[in-house]
Structures are given as structure tokens and as C-alpha cells.
Structure 1
């Protein structure tokens, strides 16, 4: 899905594209050469685009897509545009900025803002959101799709959260048991294997799987159907479902796992070469491919 117009007012207005088609806003990640790896520039550009859509009374539904061959390969852990030391005004949490902090203080402050905090902020967008997923949807890509209310995927889409290979218990927005169920969550985390769109649909993670050539049209048709409903009714319904998820323990569960996540980072920093257990984008990709070739049997 290619958005052609509009920037977001970010430092790089091309890293996220924004356009409105009728009553539907299309927010498109635009780092295709890096499989839409999410750096801070992209995170804050996404946030600006979502704010723009929320404030536009003509927009009823928001689509989130990715340009190029893939939806998103996850957090940026190795491109030339990686910007872990970039300074932004915090929008998701009331905490000091991570810049010029050290050790666990730095990691905790940054990830609470740009990873867990932003995802929670976007989950509460008062307009229906639909992730439009094709190709890779890995780790941080899962987080982006999971905060959306619905997910439409193409038949070629594939998914994984391989960060256990770093010794870390899953990505920061730890929704796995709620979107996959406990046993499937354990399977995909324990093995690090990719799973297909067909499997994700069967497990209840996706709403629809469509041929790649129909992904855009099917997503827009769904968005337009939703857009015919009263906006305030949609906002209240979304809040109702989210509140029920939280009453089932999702928010408190994420809080507890976020602590384990950072304990793992600190452990790595003590016993390995860095907080990621010595893994980088290349080694993660190679490991994931080897695991997928092994298969589940």
C-alpha cells in the first residue's frame, strides 16, 4: 500500500507517509530499504500521524501499513539510521529522558517511552485502527500490529518474536498470552520460529487473510464499513473492549513482564558483550531462518 502525499512534521517527513482517502487515514511506514525497522524518528513520526488523524473530524478509521516488501522487521538494532541517543520530548510517559543517562536507567527510560509507552498510547487511539500486514511482521512489528483493533494480512505475511534468542522474554508490549493464548505464546517464544498468516488466523490473532493483490482493497472495504458507524459509539466500544482486556490482566501482566525484560537486559550487560546478548540484526535474521527451516514437525 503506497501513500503518496503528506508528511508528519517529524525530523524526516518521509519516514512515515500520511494521507486521507475519504473517511480513512492511511499511515504508512516508509523505510523499505530497512524493512521498515523502527527507529526513534519513525516512532515519533507515527505518533504525529496518529494525532493528526485523531484531530481530523473527517477521519473515521485509521489504517497502518508498510511500504516495500515487508510490514516491519521490528525495532532498529543495526541500520545507519539507528538513533538510540536521539532526544525527543516524551509523549507517552511522564519520566525523564534517557539521553545522558547510563546503564539500566537509560534502557528503562527509553524503552518505557518509545516501546511500551507508545504502544499503550496508540492502543487507546479513540478511532478504530486496522493493521494492514504483508511480508515480515517481526518482534516490534508484532507490537505495532497488536495495538491495532483489527489486523488484515496477506497470504504471504509471516510473524515471529525471536528475542528469546537474546535471553529476553519477549518484546516490551507483552500481549502474547492475550492475542495468542498461553500455549501458543509459549511455543512461538520458546522456539523463535516464524508462523504463517494461516496459522495466525487459526489462532485468533488475525481478522482476515486475503491474497496479496487484494490486501489494499479488502482493508479499505472493511475500513469503510466501520466508518459508517457513529464515531462516538465506536470510541466507547473500543474503550469497553480494551477495559475488559485489562480486567483480564493484560496491563498488569505487561507491567510485570517489563520488569523481567529489563532484568534480562541487565543480566546480558553483565555476562555478555552488551544488553542484547551479543545479537545483532544479521545474527537474529540468520537464527530465525534456521529455526523456520527446522519446522515444527
Structure 2
């Protein structure tokens, strides 16, 4: 069972609580906050604790500069030999949603993504899981899964079309294009883009306005928005995980990872 002391003592995901606002900060700046096995575990724990701890009324998720989250640590998760008994992320998971995604989707508190830099791959998925998004003028976005021979996690299928519209979601998912905060605001992915130095002040001001409202009403307001805006993620998540598991066995996926590690253009062969 997670406590305030245990989540606050985490190494790769910091948890701070002040004035009923929990700030969860991905803390691998030297890796642009890429998520390895430990970071995924700590993020899941922080989200679960924030959801259940009654003193938390609003959650801000951000990254230690210079990035928000650059997605999976490709070298550790995709390219390197796996630990003997890793906590399931995708390749061995059997339940309908990956664990960190499940924790984000199940969080009962309003969540704000304060996107301070690159939000790429699963980093963009994490931003999608939040209820609101504010970007710094240094933010970059991209659903790069297609470039690795994979499909996205449940966020891209389940929420992105509702946020930006089905056609724009299709463009972002099919191309893996990178776009900036100004474009993110134009297409409605973020509420606004602000100067980098004011990002956290903006996020905290919004969180404070939210946290001042009655907690039970906030919880049910979020439940209603989720239920009627997005529906049930379980079927989508189950399909996404099974498809990712299949694609991780393909030559194109291995080529996508190898080309990234070797800093060259990939050659995909459809097998």
C-alpha cells in the first residue's frame, strides 16, 4: 500500500503535495524523461496514490526540464535484454489496459498536463490521459508509434479522436509527424500555449481554481465527462495491447528500433 512518504521518496517520479494539489514530475532529465521499467512503476504508484488520497483535489503532471516525456526508454525497454521478471508493460500483459495507462485512466481527480518540452510517443499518450493540457512554447508533440512499427496505446485510439477529431487523429497517428505548441493549440489538443517560464504558474493557477471546489462534486463531474465524452476504454485497450504484442514480433518493429538506436533512416519491408 502506497503512502505519502513512500511516493514522495521515489527517485524517477517525484510526488509533491501542496494546497490540495499533487504535482507529479517525471525526473529523468538526462534521458528527456524517457520511461524505463522503474519509472513506469513509480508513475503508476504516484497516480494510484493521488487518486485515493483524500487531501489531493487536483493533479498536475509535468517533466523535469528540458522535456515532458520522450516516451519509452528505447534502449532499456525495446532494444535491451529484458529483466528476468519485469513488471508487465506490453509484451506480456494480459489485462485490457497497460498498468500505467490504467492508473491514469482510473484517477478520480482532475488531471492537468503541464507540457514543458517534448511529449513524444507514450509521453503524448500521458498528456492525452489528462483532462486538460497546457503547453509551453518549447513543447513538441508526436505519436511516433508508427515509426517503430507499432500502434499507439489506448490513449491515441480512445481519446485523441474525441479531442482533435477523427480525421486529424488519423493524420497524427498515420504520419507520426512532430508538431509544436502553437499547432497543438490550433487543433485543440492543448487549451493554450504559454511562455515556458510561466507554464507552472499557469498550471497551478488553474489547479487552484479547480481544487477550491467541492471534492465529491469534482469526482462525479470528472466521471460524467469521461463516461459521456469517451466511453469505455476496456475493449479498445484489449485490442491495442494484443496488436502491440503481435507487432513487437515483426521485422519492421525491430528495424524501427534498430534505426533509432543507430541514428539512420529505417527501411520497412512489411513483415
With the shorter chain as reference, the TM-score category is 0.7 to 0.9
Choose from 62, 75, 81 the match for 1:65. Answer: 62
1:74 match: secondary structure = coil
Following TM superposition, by how much is the alpha carbon of 1:66 offset from its aligned partner in structure 2, in angstroms? 0.6
1:57 aligned counterpart, secondary structure: coil
What is aligned with 1:131?
113
Aligned match of 2:260 in 269, 283, 295?
Answer: 283
Does structure 1 conserve the Cα–Cα contact (< 8 Å) formed by 2:185 and 2:192?
yes
- Are 1:74 and 2:71 counterparts? yes
Q: Please say if residues 174 and 257 of structure 1, whose CA atoms lie closer than 8 Å, have aligned partners that are also in contact.
A: no
| In structure 2, C-alpha distance between the alignment counterparts of 1:200 and 1:108, rounded to whole Å | 34
CA deviations 1:133-179 (Å, max 9, x no partner) are 01100011011111111111111101001221222233454333233
Q: 1:256 aligns with which of 231, 239, 244?
A: 239
C-alpha displacement of 1:30: 0.5
- Tell me the CA shift for residue 260 of structure 1: 3.2
1:148-159 paired onto structure 2 within 5 Å: 148-159=130-141
Shift of 1:50: 2.4
Partner of 2:214: 230
- The question of 1:203 aligning with 2:187 is answered yes
Q: 1:217 to 1:185 in 2, by over 3 A?
A: same
Q: Please, which runs of 5 or more residues in structure 1 have no aligned partner? A: 90-96, 99-105, 289-297
Alignment CA distance shift 1:88-1:179 (3 Å): same
More contact order relative to length (CA 8 Å, sep ≥ 6): 2
What is the RMSD computed on CA atoms of the aligned residues?
3.1
How many pairs align? 259
How far apart, in 2, do the equivalents of 1:72 and 1:228 lie? 29
**Compared with structure 1, are the counterparts of its residues 83 and 205 closer, same or farther at alpha carbon in structure 2 (3 Å cutoff)?**
farther
Which consecutive residues of structure 2, in runs of 5 or more, have no partner in the other structure? 266-271
The TM-score, its normalising length taken from structure 2, stands at 0.83
